[in-house]
Structure 1
Amino acid sequence: MEKRILLIWVLTLCFSCSPDSATEQLPEIKEAFSVTLTPSVTEVTVDIPFEVKVQSNEAIFEITRILENSTQSVSSLMPGTGLDEQTLNLHFQFGYIRNEDVKLEFTSISGKKTTKTLNFNVTRGNAVKVIGFRINSFYNMNGTWDEEYAEDDPNRLADIIFSLSKLKNIHFSKATVDMRLWYLSPIYPNQQQLEWDLSQEELYISDRSIIEFGIGDDDGNGIGQDLARSSQELSIRLTDYRDTKPTEINLSNEEYGYDVSLQLEWL
């Protein structure tokens, strides 16, 4: 009799617990934030811009490009809202023949984050190679540029420096390009050198682009004088030479007194 009463008590206890157990809910599983990146090209070549289309399973509030020593970002104007469709087409352009990594961090409107890295093998394509530069003459060549020195002192001569610039994408969120420094030479004191072999510098530029260059007298501490005496950079539109493909292009101006030559290697 005692065993039968005990069994009834155990069964009663079990049944009384069952309804509560059935009403217990499993924890909600949140969907992971995922982003897919699709480049518009299969081959990336020097200086040729291309796009990367961004798709995600949740609206994106912010995109950050993580560079070696800095970052670039674009975000929605209003908290809780996503970037528009146009902004989700990212713009890239690479100026050197090498492997390039693009590291991007995405933040959803709910605050979730994910990071994606794309790797591109940049090839030459139809790019022109700059292999040499020569200053044939400039205003007051062999004259005094540093007046603190005597007329027979070689230190009075110009301390030559030159630069090359080309078009470069400014920010991955826009297709805008602007002229940016591409190559800056060492300083050559007292006109010691006026011609340079640049064939080992790996300077490639699209045959549809523009080269701008400057020549100067370096006085130190970022101060100098323009040997071309012009507020405008000297420039060459390579697209004007695509048919003839000259190995040397000369620019001169009698009014400003400069004469320079650029040596090129075309495909």
Structure 2
Amino acid sequence: MKPIYLMKNNFFYFVIFILLASCGPSDDSMDPEVVPEDFNIQLSATNTAVVDEVVPVMINSSKPMASLTISFDNFQTSTTAFSDQGSSQTRFFKFDKLGMNSTVYFRAKDEDGNEFDTTYTPNISRGNSVKINQIKINSFAGIDTTLDPEFPETDPNRLADVFFVLLKPGVDIRNGDVNGANEWYRSPVKQNQGDLTWDLTNAELYINPEFRILYTMADDDGNFVQDLMQAPPFEREFRLSDFADTRPSEVTLSVPSIDLEVVFTVDWN
């Protein structure tokens, strides 16, 4: 009976060996799955601001940004692109449309090409801004004279087809400096001079009175534009803050050297 005992004993150790082997270290296929970190960006900024206030917006990303693109029309035409932005950046903006009517669109990409979009829409209040409700041109060099010589003296088409452009300072998106002069409003053309009066009530032209306003005007001949400011300079500037003590409802831009007189009808707050 002893040989049979030895075989059972060997079988017992064989089973123990198999059990120990099956309890050994697991292979990599048994480790929990490592999920890659999703790329995203978060914005930090005030929810409210006043007209022409410089607003900083901090952009923080979960991974370094290989590129950052900013647009004001959902990337249809307006874009400003930056590269190698790290994981934190600040950009600066200002707004002049009341309410929640101005949106900034952000699009960031990481080094792997992953893309993330988000938006910023602050609620803008008027503050101490002044609203321009009407502009009337009383005179300019060449008014009522022939500016389109291809037409006879009796033809009203000889008169200027007048439009004006208003410019005001912009903000440097990188550092928040207020400088330069960006186009703010371009008027419709008054064919053959028309009444030279523009109702701007619905144009929402609000401006910080400390900002300079640059005014220019021209004759639109279709294929080209003829200056009516006797340039250079092509613009004349003023500040509404110069009238803040009396707060008149009409402010006149007068440049006698070029026979220019333009009346701004304004609303003070």
Q: What interval of TM-score do these two structures reach, taking the shorter chain for normalisation? A: 0.7 to 0.9
CA contact (8 A) 2:47 2:123 kept: no
Q: Identify if the C-alpha distance between structure 1 residues 159 and 111 changes in structure 2 by more than 3 Å, giving closer, same or farther.
A: closer
Cα shift at 1:111: 5.5
Q: Identify if the C-alpha distance between structure 1 residues 239 and 3 changes in structure 2 by more than 3 Å, giving closer, same or farther.
A: farther
Q: Identify if the C-alpha distance between structure 1 residues 180 and 52 changes in structure 2 by more than 3 Å, giving closer, same or farther.
A: same
TM-score by length of 1: 0.82
Q: Within 5 Å, which residues of 2 pair with 1:56-135?
A: 56-68=61-73, 69=76, 70-76=78-84, 82=86, 88-99=89-100, 100-108=102-110, 113-135=115-137
CA contact (8 A) 2:149 2:158 kept: yes
Cα shift at 1:53: 2.3
User: What residue number does 1:26 align with?
Assistant: 32
Aligned pair partner of 2:57 in 52, 57, 60:
52
Q: Within 5 Å, which residues of 2 pair with 1:138-153?
A: 138-153=140-155
Cα shift at 1:244: 2.5
Q: Identify if the C-alpha distance between structure 1 residues 156 and 95 changes in structure 2 by more than 3 Å, giving closer, same or farther.
A: same
Q: Which runs of 5+ in 2 are unaligned?
A: none
Distance 1:49 1:147 in 2: 48
CA contact (8 A) 2:51 2:94 kept: yes
Cα shift at 1:135: 0.9
Tell which deviates more after alignment, 114-123 or 102-111.
102-111
Cα shift at 1:266: 0.4
Deviations 1:145-194 (A, max 9, x none): 11111112211111111122222235x33424431222222221212221
Distance 1:33 1:7 in 2: 56
Cα shift at 1:132: 0.8
- Matched letter for residue 86 of structure 2: G
Q: Secondary structure at the match of 2:266?
A: strand
What's the % identity of the aligned pairs? 31
Cα shift at 1:6: 8.2
Q: Secondary structure at the match of 1:255?
A: helix
TM-score by length of 2: 0.82
Distance 1:192 1:18 in 2: 95
Q: Secondary structure at the match of 2:23?
A: helix
CA contact (8 A) 2:66 2:83 kept: yes
Cα shift at 1:34: 4.9
Q: Which runs of 5+ in 1 are unaligned?
A: none
Cα shift at 1:128: 0.7
Tell which deviates more after alignment, 45-54 or 176-185.
176-185
CA contact (8 A) 2:47 2:122 kept: no
Distance 1:66 1:254 in 2: 42
Aligned residues: 257
Cα shift at 1:118: 2.3
Cα shift at 1:219: 0.7
Cα shift at 1:42: 4.7
Please identify the structure whose Cα radius of gyration is greater. 2
Q: Secondary structure at the match of 1:16?
A: helix
RMSD between superposed Cα atoms in Å: 3.0
